[in-house]
């Protein structure tokens, strides 16, 4: 599998570390909403198809990337810096959970 | 002259004689022979014994799909089992032995297994050895009892125990077009792509390029096919943009057009050349892939089809045309389609008599009749072979009238004398790589074969183009046309005006009759290597195994080393018939890597032995030179003890710890993780990641900090130093340095991108020495210049900058040992210089060097936690670190740390243990309230760390014990049945020694 890092170009997957489901939404730090925290820490989507994921280019520039990967075909349809955009990326969460 | 070598012909070098041995007997062959062709040339028919029934087996094929003729090759002390004799190129001194026979190949005592056919039917192992429902050998225990004997009797080759001294290599390659297979289709594809300027890799699993052109006897462009192939391959050698990889099996097709291949570089040589590896593991990234992998001929399933002398038709044709070997002198053929007629003619031309062509089809085309006449063969249309005769070699066959519409046999069986029977049940495209790449094969009723799907149906991450027999186009003319088109398309090129090579080939219809099995009395083998018969398949169906995946596992059909290359389709057809379903509804199983066996050595390549890099501290050489016993801690090497001669480990660490508490000790702490946390929001960031406050920390001071994970469990601890307003130096535990770094980066990059903070790993930039003990301050005073180190200048948790022996150092007064202690940091390049200066300054004060054991001992005495206690299951409260949980701010883990389960009674809490019988305690030992040595149960916790404490004069331990805090002052027992250690302990506070910290505060 190749991931095209916006800094470094197409690189082998061994240079990257999976950093989890990109749909997780961290509650505000001071939030006492345990359900929201529980969802953030434990709930994971497991879609058969496109999945929004965070990968760190740990063997390269160390940037965190938001990667949309098809879990069936490993096709990667988009890669972007995770920095700052995590609120704007379309979420699969709502339709995934119902 | 060998009895079966033809007078002329073949691609072998008859002027070069090669000597080798098989089962100890000397043989000769020629350069270019495989072990199979050379043994056949010598009249050898018996190659091995079958897996389950120990039936004599010959050679069935001429290639990678060989299920029967598996041998063990011995080279020096190394034995490599289960290699197909068809894939072994002979060399002078080759030593090969047969397998699965006892005491010898010709006389095998286990062959009696075949007399009890019912006994070893499908699922035999499962059913027979489940054992009685009660008693000492109940259920699986009985299997375990019998397994040893079964494994000895059934099985393949025996692996060796000698270390493999061969060298293996790994290679990455990149290309525009990878062409897999070098038959006419592959050669054309490679040429067409190369002419477009594409970077091309052409791989061929055999030693010779050309595939079927090497033996088909066809004329291509006016010359023998083999010559045409040699020319085509030779022309490719002249291209700078083409890499030819002979003896290279592409065995795996992964995401993103990454393919794995094994090149057998020197297996065919008597001795490897200088610097040559045995195997080379290629990782090939191809922009596009042309699959020209050809097809496998299928056996027919009929009684006695496994007897030595029964062979696939094309294999015999190949032995005759490519190796100049006749597999028999009186040859019969049994077929359901046309290609076998060409084989008959080839063998006739090579000098054999064709005694019969038995064809299940009632009508034969006039072209086939002409071919049969030319081969002077008697044809039996509408007939089938119902038995074979002979012992370790074939002596004859029995033929009976056969109605292919209903499978019925009629009339009397007729005997025909033959020493070789060739069978051909049609062809199956070699779709393994396409299947690995996710393609779902499609059943083609005309071809009676699974074909790869059309390109539009393929998955987007695996882009391949098929050509030739792989696509079901079995004629050479089609292969040539498709190959060139595929090569052009793969290279992104368009049409070419040049004419295609002209092929003169024997005529024939590529579609076989849909006949896979002749049902008659006797064992009819489907999977030759695993001894699975047609009856086994039906039995499995009767017993309810109706999914093809279950059938496969129950009968082990297709699960041997050949992975069912020849048996899959016949097995599926028989299954489909038993189920009364068409073949496509039964479905085929998905092929997975590897396509054929891969040496483990090649996967490890240069990374054998200890695969990990070594991390050495700046003072490493000093430690080794001064008697340290080094210990690997993660990737690091650290001194365990600096033992004196005659000392045990315990004596050494007790001496080191005692001396530190009595005068002073010094330890290398360079391995601690060190992260520079810098920027305007650095203090705010630390407030968020640590449970305690850091924004209130004064410049020039350090503070002990604790981190939790998001789920509220303890993560890591360490001190962080404020070097300037916006400049912190964080230290982490040695083991968690990388994890903490990633944790910080994740939060800065993904969660809080608005924070202006930069984190940098500086672990390797600093050398660290911790010096502690009553004399530590005096030693520093003796060697540090540029700053005072007294209590006013350097209070507890204070930081000063100065010099030691001319080198700038940073000193922080903090203590892990519980003594008055200092950590001295210098640039890594000066680490040894500063270390030696400290040692020199410490001499008058009795300074000792100490290692990890003494470090651990003193930390246990102090009750400090490490990774053994911060084990991913403990909370700050469990470790009595709740005083560090700030209530003034949220921090990572603060919302989750008070969840019900994490504050409920009954949690494991950190305690100290004192051995009451003055015997050592063991890490991992369980703790129980009441001792029951015979029936240990009801653990209330376990020991995380233990030592002999010189300060207490006792064996002590840290432990995690259920409701541990409340149990202080009570007694319990350790229960360690594994090491047979039981004994009484007292549960105490984890702070064994100097609990109020008077020693370190001074
Ligand atoms: Zn990068």
Cis peptide before B103 (omega within 30 of 0): yes
Task: Please compute, for residue B423, the number of CA atoms within 13 A of its CA located in the half-sphere on the CB side.
Answer: 30
For A20, the domain range is 2-97
Mean of per-residue pLDDT scores for chain B:
92
User: What is the model's pLDDT at position B132?
Assistant: 53
Looking at residues B844-868, what average pLDDT do you find? Answer: 97
> Which residues of A have a CB under 8 Å from any CB of B?
1-2, 17, 19, 26-27, 29-32, 34, 37-38, 40-42, 54, 56, 58, 62-64, 73-75, 82-84, 86
Distance CA B512, CA B206 (A): 27
What is the pLDDT confidence band of residue A1, given thresholds at 50, 70 and 90? confident
Partners of A42 on chain B (C-beta within 8 Å) are 711
The two structure tokens encoding residue A22: 């990109």
Partners of A84 on chain B (C-beta within 8 Å) are 753-754
Distance CA B902, CA B908 (A): 10
Beta carbons of A34 and B258 less than 8 Å apart: no
Report DSSP letters for B580-639, one per residue: T--HHHH--PPP-S-SS---HHHHHGGG-SS-SPPB--TTHHHHHHTTEEEEEETTEEEE
What's the structural domain count of chain A? 1
What CATH number should be reported for the domain holding residue B682? 3.30.70.1400
Q: Poorest-confidence range of B101-110, B299-308, B758-767?
A: B101-110
A-B contacts (CB, under 8 Å): 66
Distance CA B62, CA B69 (A): 10
The separation between the first and the last C-alpha atoms of chain B, rounded to the nearest angstrom, is 98
Residue B735 contacts residue B715 (beta carbons within 8 Å): no
Looking at residues B938-962, what average pLDDT do you find? Answer: 97
Closest listed residue to residue A55, CA positions, set A42, A44, A66: A66
User: What is the model's pLDDT at position B110?
Assistant: 63
Instruction: Provide the angle, in degrees to the nearest 10, between the axes of the packed helices B534-542 and B568-579.
Output: 40
Q: Kindly state whether residues B66 and B93 are assigned to the same domain.
A: yes
Report DSSP letters for B461-514, one per residue: T--EEE-GGGGT--SHHHHHHHHHHHHHHHTT-----SPPPPEE-----SPPPS
What is the pLDDT confidence band of residue B127, given thresholds at 50, 70 and 90? low
User: What is the model's pLDDT at position B138?
Assistant: 55
Distance CA B519, CA B400 (A): 12
Partners of A19 on chain B (C-beta within 8 Å) are 742, 746, 750
Partners of B894 on chain A (C-beta within 8 Å) are 29
Beta carbons of A27 and B895 less than 8 Å apart: yes
Closest listed residue to residue B295, CA positions, set B527, B542, B569, B693: B569
pLDDT > 90 in chain B, percent: 79
Distance CA B439, CA B459 (A): 7
Q: Which residues pair with A55 in a beta bridge?
A: A18, A65
The minimal CB distance from B742 to the residues A1, A30, A56 is found for A56
Closest listed residue to residue B185, CA positions, set B151, B147, B216, B148: B216
Beta carbons of B890 and A30 less than 8 Å apart: yes
Q: Is the dihedral of CA B815, B817, B818, B820 positive or negative?
A: negative
Distance CA B618, CA B622 (A): 9
Enter the pTM of the model: 0.82
Looking at residues B971-976, what average pLDDT do you find? Answer: 96
Q: Kindly state whether residues B486 and B433 are assigned to the same domain.
A: yes
Report DSSP letters for B26-84, one per residue: EEEEEET-BHHHHHHHTT----EE-TTT--EE----SSTT-SS-EEEEEETTEEEEEEE
Question: B255 to chain A, minimum CA–CA distance in Å?
Answer: 5
Question: B251 to chain A, minimum CA–CA distance in Å?
Answer: 17
- Report ipTM (2 d.p.): 0.89
Beta carbons of B749 and A64 less than 8 Å apart: yes
pLDDT single digits (tens) B58-80:
999 999 999 999 999 999 888 89
Q: Kindly state whether residues B112 and B156 are assigned to the same domain.
A: yes
User: What is the model's pLDDT at position B624?
Assistant: 97
Beta carbons of B890 and A40 less than 8 Å apart: no
The minimal CB distance from A73 to the residues B459, B750, B754 is found for B459
Question: A90 to chain B, minimum CA–CA distance in Å?
Answer: 16
What is the distance, to the nearest Å, from the Cα of residue B712 to the centroid of all Cα atoms in its chain? 37
Q: Kindly state whether residues B412 and B447 are assigned to the same domain.
A: no
Beta carbons of A83 and B890 less than 8 Å apart: no
CA of A6 to the centre of ligand 1 (A): 7
Distance CA B591, CA B317 (A): 29
User: What is the model's pLDDT at position A89?
Assistant: 39
Q: Kindly state whether residues B30 and B152 are assigned to the same domain.
A: yes
Looking at residues B618-643, what average pLDDT do you find? Answer: 95
Beta carbons of B749 and A82 less than 8 Å apart: yes
What is the pLDDT confidence band of residue A80, given thresholds at 50, 70 and 90? very high
Listed residues B165, B190, B221: the one ending a domain: B165
Beta carbons of A64 and B255 less than 8 Å apart: no
pLDDT single digits (tens) B149-194:
555 555 567 778 888 888 999 999 999 999 999 999 999 999 999 9
For B693, the domain range is 673-764
Residue B735: is its pLDDT beyond 70?
yes
Residue B117 lies in a domain: yes
What CATH number should be reported for the domain holding residue B377? 3.50.50.60
Residue B283 lies in a domain: yes
Mutate which of A26, A66, A69, A78 to test chain B, going by most B C-beta atoms within 10 A? A26
What is the pLDDT confidence band of residue B828, given thresholds at 50, 70 and 90? very high
Round the CA-based radius of gyration of chain A to a whole number and report it. Answer: 14
The separation between the first and the last C-alpha atoms of chain A, rounded to the nearest angstrom, is 31
Residue B617 contacts residue B636 (beta carbons within 8 Å): yes
Residue B777 lies in a domain: no
Residue B525 contacts residue B531 (beta carbons within 8 Å): yes
Partners of A38 on chain B (C-beta within 8 Å) are 896
Q: Kindly state whether residues B147 and B178 are assigned to the same domain.
A: no
What is the pLDDT confidence band of residue A94, given thresholds at 50, 70 and 90? very low
Mutate which of B461, B749, B755, B758 to test chain A, going by most A C-beta atoms within 10 A? B749
Q: Kindly state whether residues B108 and B11 are assigned to the same domain.
A: yes
Q: Kindly state whether residues B23 and B131 are assigned to the same domain.
A: yes
Distance CA B309, CA B390 (A): 9
Residues with CB under 5 A from ligand 1 (ion): A 5, 7-8, 57, 60-61
Q: Kindly state whether residues B150 and B192 are assigned to the same domain.
A: no
Partners of A17 on chain B (C-beta within 8 Å) are 742
| CA torsion angle B822 B826 B831 B835 (round to 10) | -30
pLDDT single digits (tens) B332-348:
999 999 999 999 999 99
CA of B746 to the centre of ligand 1 (A): 14
pLDDT single digits (tens) B479-526:
999 999 999 999 998 776 678 999 998 889 999 999 999 999 999 999
The minimal CB distance from B750 to the residues A1, A58, A86 is found for A86
Q: Which residue has the tokens 């209590």?
A: B791
Q: Which residues lie below 8 Å from residue B134, measured CB to CB, with a gap of 6+?
A: none
Looking at residues B651-679, what average pLDDT do you find? Answer: 97
Cis peptide before B158 (omega within 30 of 0): no
Residue B422 contacts residue B316 (beta carbons within 8 Å): yes
Q: Kindly state whether residues B152 and B179 are assigned to the same domain.
A: no
What is the pLDDT confidence band of residue B124, given thresholds at 50, 70 and 90? low
Mutate which of B750, B759, B894 to test chain A, going by most A C-beta atoms within 10 A? B750
The H-assigned helical ranges of B105-260 are 124-128, 140-153, 184-195, 225-237
User: What is the model's pLDDT at position A96?
Assistant: 37
The minimal CB distance from A29 to the residues B459, B711, B890 is found for B890
What's the structural domain count of chain B? 5
Question: A75 to chain B, minimum CA–CA distance in Å?
Answer: 6
Q: Which residues lie below 8 Å from residue B877, measured CB to CB, with a gap of 6+?
A: B902, B903, B907, B909
Q: Please indicate whether residue B49 or residue B21 has the higher confidence score (pLDDT).
A: B21
The minimal CB distance from A58 to the residues B285, B742, B891 is found for B742
Looking at residues B935-954, what average pLDDT do you find? Answer: 96
Question: B601 to chain A, minimum CA–CA distance in Å?
Answer: 21
Mutate which of A24, A53, A64 to test chain B, going by most B C-beta atoms within 10 A? A64
Residue B617: is its pLDDT beyond 90?
yes
Residue B644: is its pLDDT beyond 80?
yes
User: What is the model's pLDDT at position B598?
Assistant: 92
User: What is the model's pLDDT at position B149?
Assistant: 55
The two structure tokens encoding residue B664: 């002073």
User: What is the model's pLDDT at position B776?
Assistant: 97
User: What is the model's pLDDT at position B343?
Assistant: 95
Residue B736 contacts residue B867 (beta carbons within 8 Å): yes
Q: Kindly state whether residues B254 and B208 are assigned to the same domain.
A: yes
User: What is the model's pLDDT at position B553?
Assistant: 84
What CATH number should be reported for the domain holding residue A45? 3.30.2270.10
CA of A56 to the centre of ligand 1 (A): 8
Q: Which residues lie below 8 Å from residue B107, measured CB to CB, with a gap of 6+?
A: none
Q: Poorest-confidence range of B541-545, B814-818, B969-973?
A: B541-545
pLDDT single digits (tens) B442-461:
999 999 999 998 765 556 66
Q: Which residues lie below 8 Å from residue B116, measured CB to CB, with a gap of 6+?
A: none
Q: Kindly state whether residues B158 and B191 are assigned to the same domain.
A: no
């Amino acid at each position: 599998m190749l991931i095209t890092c916006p800094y470094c170009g197409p690189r082998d997957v061994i240079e990257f570390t999976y950093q989890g489901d990109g749909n997780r939404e961290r509650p505000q730090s001071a939030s006492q909403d345990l359900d929201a925290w529980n969802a953030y820490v434990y709930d994971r989507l497991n879609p058969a198809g496109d999945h929004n994921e965070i990968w760190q280019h740990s063997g390269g520039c160390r940037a965190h990337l938001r990667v949309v990967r098809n879990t069936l075909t490993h096709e990667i349809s988009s890669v972007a810096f995770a920095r700052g955009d995590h609120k704007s990326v379309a979420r699969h969460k709502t339709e995934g959970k119902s | 002259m060998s009895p079966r070598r033809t007078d002329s012909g073949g691609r072998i070098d008859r002027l070069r004689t090669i000597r080798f041995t098989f089962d100890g007997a000397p043989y000769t062959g020629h350069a270019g022979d495989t072990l199979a062709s050379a043994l056949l040339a010598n009249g050898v028919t018996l190659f091995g014994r079958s897996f389950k029934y120990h039936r004599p087996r010959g050679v069935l094929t001429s290639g990678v799909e060989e299920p029967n003729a598996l041998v063990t090759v011995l080279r020096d002390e190394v034995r490599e089992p289960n290699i197909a004799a068809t894939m072994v190129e002979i060399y002078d001194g080759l030593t090969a032995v047969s397998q699965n026979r006892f005491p010898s190949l010709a006389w095998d005592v286990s062959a009696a297994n075949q007399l009890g056919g019912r006994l070893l039917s499908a699922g035999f192992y499962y059913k027979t050895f489940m054992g009685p429902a009660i008693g000492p050998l109940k259920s699986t225990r009985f299997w375990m009892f019998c397994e040893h004997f079964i494994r000895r009797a059934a099985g393949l080759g025996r692996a060796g125990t000698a270390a493999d001294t061969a060298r293996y290599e790994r290679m990455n390659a990149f290309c525009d077009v990878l062409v897999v297979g070098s038959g006419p289709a592959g050669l054309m594809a490679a040429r067409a792509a190369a002419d477009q300027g594409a970077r091309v890799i052409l791989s061929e699993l055999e030693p010779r390029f050309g595939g079927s052109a090497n033996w088909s006897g066809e004329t291509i462009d006016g010359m023998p096919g083999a010559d045409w192939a040699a020319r085509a391959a030779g022309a490719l050698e002249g291209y700078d943009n083409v890499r030819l990889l002979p003896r290279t099996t592409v065995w795996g097709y992964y995401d993103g057009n990454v393919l794995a291949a094994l090149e057998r570089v020197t297996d065919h040589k008597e001795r490897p050349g200088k610097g040559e590896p045995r195997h080379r593991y290629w990782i090939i990234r191809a922009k596009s892939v042309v699959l020209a992998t050809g097809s496998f001929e299928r056996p027919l399933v009929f009684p006695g089809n496994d007897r030595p002398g029964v062979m696939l038709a094309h294999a015999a044709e190949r032995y005759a045309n490519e190796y100049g070997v006749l597999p028999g002198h009186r040859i019969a053929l049994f077929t359901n389609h046309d290609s076998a007629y060409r084989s008959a003619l080839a063998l006739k031309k090579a000098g054999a008599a064709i005694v019969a062509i038995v064809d299940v089809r009632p009508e034969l085309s006039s072209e086939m009749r002409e071919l049969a006449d030319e081969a002077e063969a008697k044809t039996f249309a509408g007939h089938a072979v119902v038995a074979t005769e002979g012992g370790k070699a074939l002596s004859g066959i029995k033929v009976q009238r056969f109605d292919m519409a209903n499978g019925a046999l009629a009339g009397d069986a007729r005997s025909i004398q033959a020493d070789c029977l060739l069978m051909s049940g049609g062809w199956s495209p070699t779709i393994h790589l396409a299947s690995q790449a996710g393609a779902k094969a499609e059943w083609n009723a005309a071809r009676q074969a699974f074909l790869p799907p059309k390109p539009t149906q393929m998955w987007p991450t695996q882009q391949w183009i098929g050509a030739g027999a792989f696509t079901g186009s079995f004629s050479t003319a089609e292969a040539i046309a498709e190959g060139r088109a595929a090569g052009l398309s793969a290279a992104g090129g368009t049409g070419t005006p040049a004419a295609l090579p002209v092929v003169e080939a024997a005529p024939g219809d590529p579609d076989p009759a849909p006949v896979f099995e002749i049902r008659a009395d006797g064992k009819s083998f489907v999977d030759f290597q695993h001894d699975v018969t047609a009856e086994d398949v039906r039995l499995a169906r009767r017993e309810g195994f109706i999914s093809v995946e279950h059938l496969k596992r129950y009968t082990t059909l297709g699960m041997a080393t050949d992975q069912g290359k020849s048996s899959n389709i016949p097995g599926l057809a028989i299954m489909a018939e038993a189920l009364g379903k068409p073949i496509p509804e039964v479905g085929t199983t998905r092929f997975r890597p590897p396509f054929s066996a891969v040496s483990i050595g090649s996967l490890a390549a240069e990374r054998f032995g200890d695969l990990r890099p070594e991390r050495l501290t700046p003072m490493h050489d000093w430690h080794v030179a001064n008697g340290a016993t080094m210990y690997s801690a993660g990737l690091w090497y650290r001194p365990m003890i600096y033992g004196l001669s005659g000392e045990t480990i315990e004596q050494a660490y007790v001496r080191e710890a005692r001396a530190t508490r009595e005068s002073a000790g010094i330890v290398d702490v360079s391995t601690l993780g060190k992260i520079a946390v810098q920027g305007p929001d650095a203090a705010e960031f630390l407030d968020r990641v640590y449970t305690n406050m850091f924004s209130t920390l004064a410049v020039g001071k350090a503070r002990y900090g604790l981190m939790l994970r998001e789920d509220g469990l303890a993560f890591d601890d360490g001190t962080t130093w404020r070097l300037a307003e916006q400049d912190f130096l964080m230290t982490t535990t040695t083991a968690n340095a990388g994890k903490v770094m990633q944790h910080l980066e994740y939060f800065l990059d993904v969660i809080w991108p608005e924070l202006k903070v930069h984190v940098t790993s500086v672990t390797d930039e600093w050398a660290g020495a911790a010096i502690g003990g009553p004399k530590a301050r005096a030693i520093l005073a003796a060697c540090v210049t540029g700053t005072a180190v007294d209590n006013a200048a350097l209070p507890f948790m204070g930081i000063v900058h100065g010099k030691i022996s001319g080198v700038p150092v940073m000193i922080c007064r903090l203590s892990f040992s519980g003594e008055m202690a200092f950590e001295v940091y210098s640039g890594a390049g000066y680490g040894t210089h500063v270390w030696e200066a400290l040692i020199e300054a410490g001499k008058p004060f009795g300074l000792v060097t100490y290692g990890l054991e003494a470090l651990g001992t003193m930390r246990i005495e102090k009750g400090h936690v490490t990774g053994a206690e911060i084990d991913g299951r403990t909370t700050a409260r469990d470790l009595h670190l709740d005083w560090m949980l700030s209530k003034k701010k949220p921090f990572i883990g603060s919302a989750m740390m008070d969840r019900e389960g994490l504050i409920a009674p009954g949690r494991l809490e950190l305690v100290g243990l004192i051995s009451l019988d003055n015997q050592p305690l063991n890490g991992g030992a369980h703790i129980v309230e009441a001792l029951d040595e015979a029936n240990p149960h009801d653990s209330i916790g376990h020991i995380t760390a233990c030592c002999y404490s010189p300060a207490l004069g006792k064996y002590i331990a840290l432990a995690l014990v259920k409701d541990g805090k409340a149990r202080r002052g009570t007694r319990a027992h350790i229960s360690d049945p594994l090491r047979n250690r039981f004994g009484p302990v007292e549960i105490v506070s984890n702070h064994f020694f100097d609990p109020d910290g008077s020693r370190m505060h001074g």
